[in-house]
Amino acid sequence: MSLIERARRVLPGGVNSPVRAFRGVGGDPVFVKGADGAYLETEDGRRLIDYIGSYGPMIFGHRPPEVTAAIAEALQHSTTFGAPTRAEVELAERICSAFPAMEMVRLVNSGTEATMSALRLARAATGRNKIIKLAGCYHGHADAYLVAAGSGAATLGVPSSPGVPTAVTADTLVAPYNDLDAVQALFQRHGDDIAMLIVEPIAGNMGLVPPLPGYLEALREVTRRHGALLVFDEVMTGFRVAWGGAQTLFDIEPDLTTLGKVIGGGLPIGAYGGRRDLMQQVAPAGPVYQAGTLSGNPLAVAAGSTALRLLASNHDQIYDRLEATSAKLCGGLEDIARRHGIPFTCQRQGSMIGIFFTDGPVERIDHVDASNLERFSRVFHVLLKAGIHLPPSAYETLFVSGAHGEEEINKTFEAFDQALAAEA
């Protein structure tokens, strides 16, 4: 019996997270045995160049020695305490020092937990119930966020998963990402009832879709004018696109921010934080209850603190290298597609990349829907056979790490050229 057959007997779909099942591209998933630098080692003995990077946290590549050493050191003291530690205070201090809008922070265990907690806090702080999310942005699997837009451009959300009561999503309003008119229409209709607007400042869950010029600034203005909170979901972008996240790139201070990925150095972690007056409402300082036995887990804190220390020590040079490598990759893929006469768009923000088989630009989820998803699937499998492992969906983002060098980029170009030659 194959490994995937064994997995399907005991795991739903054979996986512990849906995108891993290869439903977006067909076929069976790759089972990973280990990883090092820019490479994955599979259970069947292949060595693949990895552009998943655990969807963001592996900014230095897999198994950076300083991070693995920090985990080993922390392990000498135990795996969890259920009590405060000096290390979690130091990690919180470093996060707050990097994000001017985060005066206080609460560590949690995942991005979903962070966004769920931010939602509760926003409702408590404003005394309002309705929220706005943008179609194509993903904020975890909490019920209130699992909504799909209806037929209108600005609409009430309807549940997008069985098991989510309509009553739970009745207060979730949905507008297309990058569509300011739709957001303004929602505020005109429901402004006095809206507690918050949550957004990925750089969308990374429909491929990579940057905000249009002025869009985030306008969201800041309209939320402030109507007394709603602006929440930046920087679980992916925090410390990935810049030292202080996307908000420092665009010089915008949200009221609340959610983080994950890089701040755990590859181990499970999340965080939410913001203005002191808001965060002081979280228990035990205030009445908004949120708790977690494993929050501030010492292994995750050790890994994350070390990753952030490495970034802090020379972040300009590190981000410059990631920028250069990612720009070379994106530009080279576009050149290859152009040479073969294949409609193709590569969008990028720092070391996050989205590839779409369509004439660009891609600005909203419906643009991704309209791209050539079948071609993406075919190209994905040609690349995989050639030793290049992309995220297995046209709706996911590629991540470049500091371990990706000229050799890995050139091998990717060769494989992409072969794949498009078969498509032309």
Q: Which residues are catalytic?
A: 138, 233, 261
In Å, the largest CA–CA distance within the chain is 62
Q: Which residue has the tokens 């959610």?
A: 258
Other CB atoms within 10 Å distance of the CB of residue 242: 19
- Dihedral-angle region of residue 53 (phi above 0 means left; psi in -120 to 50 means alpha; beta otherwise): left
| Residue 203 DSSP class | B
For residues 319 and 248, is the Cβ–Cβ distance under 8 A? Answer: no
Strand partners, 253: none
With a CB cutoff of 8 Å and minimum separation 6, the contacts of 256 are 118, 121, 122, 196, 229, 230, 231, 232, 272, 273, 274, 275, 278
First to last CA, the chain: 38
State both tokens at 304. 């994350």
Alpha-carbon torsion (94, 100, 101, 104), positive or negative: positive
| Residue 352 DSSP class | E
Per-residue exposure over 271-289, b if at least 16 CB sit within 10 Å of its own CB, e if not: bbbbbeebbeebeeeeebe
Measured distance CA(127)–CA(404) in Å, rounded: 48
Other CB atoms within 10 Å distance of the CB of residue 33: 12
Other CB atoms within 10 Å distance of the CB of residue 305: 24
State both tokens at 257. 């921010």
Distances (CA, A) of 357 to 96, 344, 347, 367: 39, 4, 11, 11
With a CB cutoff of 8 Å and minimum separation 6, the contacts of 155 are 149, 173, 174, 175
Measured distance CA(47)–CA(259) in Å, rounded: 31
Measured distance CA(25)–CA(19) in Å, rounded: 10
